[in-house]
Structure 1
């Protein structure tokens, strides 16, 4: 075994096993903030583990410094890899290994490039959307929102310079004043919490790694949990009953806005249930998953760094 192999296997284990476990922990939104942290930790640790694995292998092949890893029983895999890289197993094996390493490096670069371009494209699209909404609508000073003169119901926020909350005339007509205040508080909670940054990142990872449930399911779950966080923020200001009635009113419209459609049933259950503290074991389990997801790759990387430092002295 080796640090690189452990990190590689860890990344695949998290990618396969984490989605089902984390979805069970976050399905009812008992502790949405901790559940979001657990999802993000699992995603980040997987990407980190695979990135460090590739870096370790490339460094080893390039420098042939197997002795950098001081624990002898961990050297077997990399020792064979080293021997293959220097041609001890024949030129075909050496060529194949170098080609595989090159392919892995190219794949990593392409994924990083696609992620960067996806994030930049999403940012440009969001800024343009905010600009067009301000041009097409009129600013309502009392609501501090842009109102579109259309009957189709719309209630959402767009990050930009400045951030913009967009409402349609159909929503203003359908909602009473206190319900409208709750909707505005919900959207402001999204902007104040910078939820758009988390959505952009998780959706970007899902778009460049579409075959891995950790990122595709994770992006959907994070979006759903962020809606619950915004519900909680609005409920603290206007009460859960007001937020619930606003949500039900919007969902009953002929073409409900996206904010009323996302994970409707769990949100309704949370808002209609008696106010009780989150179950301790759900919070503890989500916290443990988040800490474990971060600690394993970080500990492995620190171990490798210490080994390199000790042997370099």
Structure 2
């Protein structure tokens, strides 16, 4: 069976339909870490599906029955195929998917390196202007507005303004620091770089646009949940409100910012975690979705 229509249809659904369904769902804000994993799974699945779709479109019709095995054979792997793939078509069929994979990979590396350079320059400036507080585990900057953000990476920094130290209570300050520490410990900058890279390659794709928008908000919610483990909702909410006008530097994560209103409603609203069975089903789907294009590309006898 020719897998091309199935692969193209599946990739189209992942790129255009799945984002709309996920945006309409209510559970992502109740389980932001799981929702972030689902967005990443869709990104990986679309990328793999696009690569295999291009391969199947370019490969001559009489050779399409070899499916994924033909792709592996064209890459030089001896898999015991009885019929060889034509060299010219095989090279082109491998080259085009390789371009897609290389574009996404190089874009990811570009965003990681670029963000690291921005954070390094900002970290050097912070170390010159600010003063290190061992008690808080943060660098305090002379700034007359309550603000806090972190610079993740190899040499992470949590930066907080002296106005925040003066105006926030000790509990509020501890909640803010816990929020920022969650970004560093969770390596959220890498998760954000992945969707930024995907958006750079597939800029007009709804999945790319919505994944980038939602990832920033979901990662902030994940950090909020980390802070709520040891602090009350009121404590975190008041601290977020005090720093609502904070503008985070590029490459940093801030407790305030433009997502505060949505996050405040979530923190102060009724909390109901998803049912464990639902959580397990969604987690299983997140693991399975990136593998579906590979299964669809297999010949009927092997798929």
TM over 0.5: yes
Q: Secondary structure at the match of 1:47?
A: helix
> After superposition, what is the alpha-carbon deviation per residue over 1:248-277, rounded to whole angstroms, capped at 9, x for unaligned?
2222x6x56653234223321222234x43
Distance 1:66 1:209, change over 3 A: closer
Q: Is the 8 A contact 2:180 2:223 kept in 1?
A: yes
Q: Is the 8 A contact 1:187 1:230 kept in 2?
A: yes
Separation in 1 of the partners of 2:190 and 2:50? 23
Separation in 2 of the partners of 1:308 and 1:279? 39
Q: Secondary structure at the match of 2:256?
A: helix
> After superposition, what is the alpha-carbon deviation per residue over 1:38-58, rounded to whole angstroms, capped at 9, x for unaligned?
211111111111123334555
Matched with 2:149 is 156
Distance 1:113 1:262, change over 3 A: same
Separation in 1 of the partners of 2:64 and 2:179? 55
Distance 1:162 1:218, change over 3 A: same
Matched with 1:68 is 66
CA RMSD of aligned residues (A): 3.6
Q: Secondary structure at the match of 2:15?
A: helix
Q: CA deviation at 1:131?
A: 3.3
How many residues align? The count is: 280
Matched with 1:259 is 255
Q: What are the equivalent positions in structure 2 for 1:4-83 lying under 5 Å apart?
A: 4-25=4-25, 29-57=29-57, 60-61=59-60, 65-69=63-67
Matched with 1:280 is 275
TM-score by length of 1: 0.74
Distance 1:26 1:44, change over 3 A: farther
Matched with 1:231 is 224
Q: Is the 8 A contact 1:54 1:105 kept in 2?
A: no
Q: Secondary structure at the match of 1:38?
A: helix
Separation in 2 of the partners of 1:103 and 1:231? 42
Q: Is the 8 A contact 2:19 2:207 kept in 1?
A: yes
Q: CA deviation at 1:309?
A: 7.3
Q: Is the 8 A contact 1:7 1:297 kept in 2?
A: no
Unmatched 5+ residue regions in structure 2? 69-84, 249-253
2:191 corresponds to 1:195: no
Who wins on radius of gyration, i.e. which is larger? 1
Q: Is the 8 A contact 1:133 1:146 kept in 2?
A: yes
| Higher percent of residues as helix | 1
Separation in 1 of the partners of 2:99 and 2:37? 30
